[in-house]
Amino acid sequence: MRRDYTARGALLETDLAADWQTQFEAWFTDATAFGLPEPNAMIVGTATPAGRPSSRTVLLKECDERGFVFFTNYGSRKGRELAVNPYASLVFPWFPMQRQVLVAGAVRRVTRAETAEYFASRPRGSQLGAWASPQSSVLPDRAAVEAGLAAAEERFGEGPVPAPEHWGGFRIEPETVEFWQGRSNRLHDRLRFRRTEEGSWVVERLAP
């Protein structure tokens, strides 16, 4: 199953943008143009205060100089873990392009206004689903999911569906953003933007 990465080029310091956001936007544009399915899919890693990790795939909904935003049920496993251990990692696994982007940093909830604005843009079915599902809870069967949806449909009828208080966004404020480009013989290029204690950014090459 091993593949030798030879076809997608290199990532040298001279290729890198001046800041992580510009570099990420350039690579994200490349991933979209490449035709990757859901290039905004990212693996989010969280952990309990005792250090027990968990990971799952979610969708990036916003990226700017402040960081990377996704939305979820605050009562889900990731929501509960971020409430008590507000740090996370992200991985964008763009394997067909022989690229990855790896992010780590502190996490904060976005404002309720930001949550409400995004929630209003969601399809109605997704809005109802946010009310219907007690995410990560143990359920007896699929019928419980359908019952939750039916209850939400009855509750809101044909009217607007507001964002639940238990649902909203998280923003990962990056402390490191690594750009990984596959190379031959496992000697990959790894260039990392790292925020210093003074708040400036430095670029470091990591050993493959």
Residue tagged active-site, from 108, 186, 190, 195: 186
C-alpha distances in Å from residue 56, one per residue of 68, 89, 113, 122, 168:
16, 11, 26, 21, 17
Nearest to 25 by CA among 68, 78, 89, 81: 68
Q: Are 78 and 86 in contact (CB under 8 A)?
A: no
Quote the tokens at residue 30. 């490349």
Q: For this structure, is 190 an active site residue?
A: no
The 3-state DSSP class for residue 163 equals coil
Determine the Cα–Cα distance for residues 66 and 178; give it in Å rounded to an integer. 16
C-alpha distances in Å from residue 146, one per residue of 119, 127, 133:
21, 15, 9
- Could you give the residue numbers annotated as active site? 186
